[in-house]
């Protein structure tokens, strides 16, 4: 199978590529990645020797580059995006450009080249916030941040290409991912690396916002199940099954590195901060046999160890991005 993986040098995309090549070395993967601040080509070094891997540095918004890499692909797995909510609050332009317009360029090319399947990777954040219960896939979209609004736009475009052009599109929406190689601006790696460096950690508001945590390897397994068995034109949720308030998560991270609450700095809450996200992922469990395999306590401990052992990966990234 020949797969175009966009954003394959990022956190989740690179996990997908490493996992896929190791489990099926006959797969031919072309990674298209612009290498923005969060893209790291070295994330693919562990599978750099695989003959099936081709890396192309390029922008999904560039129709010429996209046209070249799309030719002869059997499938697209589309991760490339601007992905950090805080950055979208500071400036929404790159989010609309990459997430909406870039997705449209990819969809057009996939349709033109008659690609067999287009899997669009999205997020629970497109639904807004929910006090109680969990969203099914049929829930109306009500995004609150420029990031989630741009992802909702790209989801709707992808589904429209299925309805209008008959392109075989599937959309996945997942909860918060964690694991190795996550850019250290996101809460888990930011807190771990700050704590390892003896620095304070910034907790938004009172820390009562609730997120469900999904190990990146479980997410990528779910993506492959949908790629292989999902119904064209359908949306599938991928959840982790571990809902935690940010306060509780902070306590677990402090315990993991042996630090106390004196290291926590309460900072002004994020503008428009969604209180709770919760996906009902019964559909992928029932139809495709998905179940998360990584226990959260074990996954978090392994993630802390990975950051402890890979300072040479994250320290230069934090330095370059001016993260404190």
- Which residue has the closest beta carbon to ligand NAD? 10
Q: How far is the CB of 143 from ligand NAD (least distance, A)?
A: 12
Q: Which of 127, 147, 161, 181 is catalytic?
A: 147
Nearer Cβ to ligand NAD (44/254): 44
Closest to 319 in 3D by CA, of 130, 184, 159: 184
- Do residues 155 and 124 make contact, with C-beta atoms less than 8 angstroms apart? no
Closer residue to ligand NAD, CB minimum distance, 121 or 149: 121
Closer residue to ligand NAD, CB minimum distance, 44 or 201: 44
Catalytic, 124? Answer yes
d(CA 290, CA 124): 17
281 annotated active-site: no
Local structure of 183: helix, strand or coil:
coil
Choice between 149 and 259, CB closer to ligand NAD: 149
Spot the catalytic one: 15, 59, 125, 281: 125
Note every long-range contact of 299-305, with CB atoms under 8 Å and residues 24 or more positions apart, other chains counting: 299/178, 299/179, 299/215, 300/178, 300/188, 300/252, 300/253, 300/256, 301/256, 302/180, 303/178, 303/179, 303/180, 303/188, 303/189, 303/192, 304/192, 304/253, 304/256, 304/257
Beta carbon nearer to ligand NAD, 214 or 259: 214
* Contact footprint for ligand NAD (CB under 6 A): 6-7, 9-13, 32-36, 38-39, 59-61, 79-83, 98, 102, 121, 123, 151, 174, 176-177, 183
Least separation in angstroms between residue 139's CB and ligand NAD is: 16
**In terms of DSSP H, where are the helices of 39-84?**
63-70
Q: How far is the CB of 287 from ligand NAD (least distance, A)?
A: 20
Q: How far apart are CB 32 and ligand NAD at their closest, in Å?
A: 6
| Catalytic (active site) residue 307 | no
Question: Which residue out of 15, 33, 59, 124 is catalytically annotated?
Answer: 124
How far is residue 130's CA from residue 125's CA, in Å, rounded to a whole number? Answer: 10
- In contact, 6 and 59? CB cutoff 8 Å: no
Catalytic positions are 124-125, 147
């Amino acid at each position: 199978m020949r797969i175009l993986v966009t954003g394959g040098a990022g956190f989740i995309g690179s996990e997908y590529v490493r996992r896929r090549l190791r489990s099926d070395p006959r797969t031919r993967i072309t990674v298209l990645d612009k290498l923005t601040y969060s893209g790291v080509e070295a994330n693919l070094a562990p599978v750099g020797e695989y003959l099936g891997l081709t890396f192309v540095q390029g922008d999904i918004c560039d129709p010429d580059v996209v046209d070249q890499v799309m030719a002869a692909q059997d499938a697209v797995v589309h991760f490339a995006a601007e992905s950090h909510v805080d950055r979208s609050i500071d400036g929404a332009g790159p989010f609309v450009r990459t997430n909406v317009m870039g997705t449209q360029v990819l969809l057009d090319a996939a349709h033109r080249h008659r690609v067999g399947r287009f899997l669009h990777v999205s997020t629970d954040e497109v639904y807004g916030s929910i006090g109680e219960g969990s969203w099914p896939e049929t829930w109306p979209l009500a995004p609150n941040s420029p990031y989630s609004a741009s992802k909702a736009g790209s989801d709707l475009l992808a589904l429209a290409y299925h309805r209008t052009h008959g392109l075989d599109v599937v959309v996945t929406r997942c909860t918060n991912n964690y694991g190795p190689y996550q850019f250290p601006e996101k809460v888990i790696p930011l807190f771990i690396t700050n704590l390892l460096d003896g620095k304070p950690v910034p907790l938004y508001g009172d820390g009562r916002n609730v997120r469900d945590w999904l190990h990146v390897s479980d997410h990528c397994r779910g993506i492959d199940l949908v790629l292989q068995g999902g119904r064209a034109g359908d949306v599938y949720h991928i959840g982790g099954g571990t809902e935690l308030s940010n306060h509780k998560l902070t306590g677990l991270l402090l315990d993991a590195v042996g630090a106390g609450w004196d290291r926590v700095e309460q900072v002004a809450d994020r503008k428009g901060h969604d209180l709770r996200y919760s996906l009902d992922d019964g559909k992928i469990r029932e139809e495709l046999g998905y179940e998360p395999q990584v226990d959260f306590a074990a996954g978090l401990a392994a993630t802390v160890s990975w950051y402890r052992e890979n300072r040479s990966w994250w320290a230069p990234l934090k330095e370059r991005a001016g993260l404190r």
